[in-house]
Structure 1
Amino acid sequence: MSAASAFACRRCGQCCRGEGGIVADERDQQRLCAYLGAARETFLAAYTVERSGKVFLTVGADGNCVFFEAGCGVHPARPDICRAWPFFRGNLIDAVSFALSKDSCPGIEQGASHAAFARQGAAYLQARGLVKSSQAGAAEALKLSPAMLAAMLKADPDDA
């Protein structure tokens, strides 16, 4: 299996459900405000909650992201954390976390090795400017050191 085939999004919305916490950093907030045509203060009051110094999108009573309705209602402007799923740091560096994500995300190929997934994920995050180093308010799941990123990109995707 090639590294390029370890994950292909099926747009099923499984990742839009639950209380995991969708962090919306400054860049995300600007993008969402522009897309929604909302002033920042209005956006923050209507769609977010602050916890531990970070801004999170709220979830509805159904447990879905506030913008999820038969698909993502803000897909072109979705936060970086949403753009990055399932290529979160935990899934990239921990084979057990990766295996658990395979159970809930139908886009992760069941036969994909952790090395292939990590290599694809590192390349995907890097190409799209989604890697966060130490930005305040950024999602922890997107914080990868340059050394971690380089190691993943060098990994042999055929390693199981």
Structure 2
Amino acid sequence: MPAASDKVFNCRMCGHCCEGSGGIVVSPTDLTRLAAHLGHAPETVVELYCYHVGDKLKIRSGDDGYCVFFKQGQGCGVHEGKPAICRAWPFFRGNIEDPASLAMAKEFCPGINLEARHADFAQAGRSYLRQKGLLAKDSSCEANALILK
């Protein structure tokens, strides 16, 4: 029996969520996982792939506008080590708490079931985030989109 999250979202590996800059927050836990996956010291990962915005660490975008780890036709180059914000898509606070935000996400992401009612999406999203340990608490260093009311 498929998980509730599978009924409202099925990733198509299109990369739309990997495009744009400034959204991929790397928490301290994420940095440890990403560094281990890449086989580098955390400091090296920061130097090579990240930048700071205030106290938050974020992944750089390449010249093509995508995350530096995204490769066209191949997808995420660090899939096993990717940050929580990437693991959580499309179950972000805005999409869970606001039907209008979810409607916009449906236009953007072909993996979101167009027939999914907001209430069902929100319930599945909250459950998914809890089960996967993706809920954040510290807005100083974690993604705000993973901090739910």
Q: With the length of structure 1 as denominator, give the TM-score of the two structures.
A: 0.86
Separation (CA, whole Å) in 2 of partners of 1:30 and 1:93: 30
CA contact (8 A) 2:34 2:78 kept: yes
Aligned with 1:106: secondary structure?
coil
Separation (CA, whole Å) in 2 of partners of 1:64 and 1:135: 24
Q: How does 1:9-158 map onto structure 2 within 5 Å?
A: 9-69=11-71, 70-134=74-138, 136-145=140-149
**What's the CA shift for 1:136?**
3.4
Structure 1 residue runs of 4 or more that deviate by more than 4 Å after TM superposition: none
**What's the CA shift for 1:13?**
1.2
**What's the CA shift for 1:8?**
1.4
The size of the alignment, in residue pairs, is 144
Aligned with 1:19: secondary structure?
coil
User: What is the alpha-carbon root mean square deviation over aligned residues?
Assistant: 1.4
Deviates further, 121-130 or 10-19:
10-19
CA contact (8 A) 2:22 2:58 kept: no
Give the letter for the 1:39 counterpart. A
Separation (CA, whole Å) in 2 of partners of 1:96 and 1:129: 26
Deviates further, 132-141 or 18-27:
132-141
Q: Identity of paired residues, percent?
A: 49
Aligned with 1:50: secondary structure?
strand
**What's the CA shift for 1:33?**
0.4
**What's the CA shift for 1:20?**
4.3
What's the counterpart of residue 148 of structure 1?
none
Deviates further, 82-91 or 35-44:
35-44
**What's the CA shift for 1:52?**
2.2
Q: With the length of structure 2 as denominator, give the TM-score of the two structures.
A: 0.92
Separation (CA, whole Å) in 1 of partners of 2:23 and 2:139: 17
